[in-house]
Amino acid sequence: MSKPPSRDLIKIVLTNFLKSFRPRQIRGNLIGEDYFGNKYYEIPANPAIGKRKPSRWFEPVDKESFDNEITAEWEAWLRGRRVDPPTKEELVRNLSIMEMKRRNAAKLDEVYGKKKDEFEVPKDSKGRSSFPTYDEYEIIPGKDPNKRY
C-alpha cells in the first residue's frame, strides 16, 4: 500500500520564492511599424505567472509631441479588439482607400461647396455672435421678418 502524495507547504513556498527571482521579460518584441513611423511592441501573455493578457504599446516617432497619429488597425490591435496585428498589405489597401475618399471629397467640395458668406453668423455691437438669422424663415408666422413689432 502506497501513501498518497502529500503537499509539503514549506517546499511549495520555497520553490515559489526561488522562481520569483527568475528574470522576466521587460523588453517587448517588435511586432511591426506603420506608415507614420510608429513602432509597436508586445510582451505575450504567460499564464504560468498569472499574466492572462499580453502587454502592448507603441513608440511614436516624435516622443515630445502629444498629437501622435495611430492607424485604426493598429489601435484595434493595441486595445485588444483584434488578436493578430495588421499586415502591410492591409495597411496599404486601407491607406489607398483613405486617399481615394479624400480626393472624392475634394471633388465634391469643388462642385457643391458652400460659400463662406453663407455660414457667417451676425454679430452685435460688442462683437459677440448670436444665433444666425435667415431671411427665408419667418420669425412670427405670417408677419414680415424685417419689420420690428
pLDDT at 122 over 70: no
**pLDDT-based confidence at residue 23 (cuts at 50, 70, 90):** confident
Question: Cα-Cα-Cα-Cα dihedral of 50, 54, 60, 61, to 10°?
Answer: 110
- CA dihedral defined by 81, 84, 88, 91, rounded to 10 degrees? -10
pLDDT tops 90 at residue 30:
yes
Least confident among 19-33, 77-91, 132-146? 132-146
Sign of the CA dihedral with 130 first, then 136, 141, and 142 last: positive
pLDDT at residue 46, rounded to an integer: 82
- Please say if the pLDDT value at position 105 is more than 90: yes
Cell digits of residue 129: 455672435
Closest CA to 83 of 60, 106, 62, 56: 56
> What average pLDDT does the segment 51-62 reach?
90
**pTM of structure:** 0.57
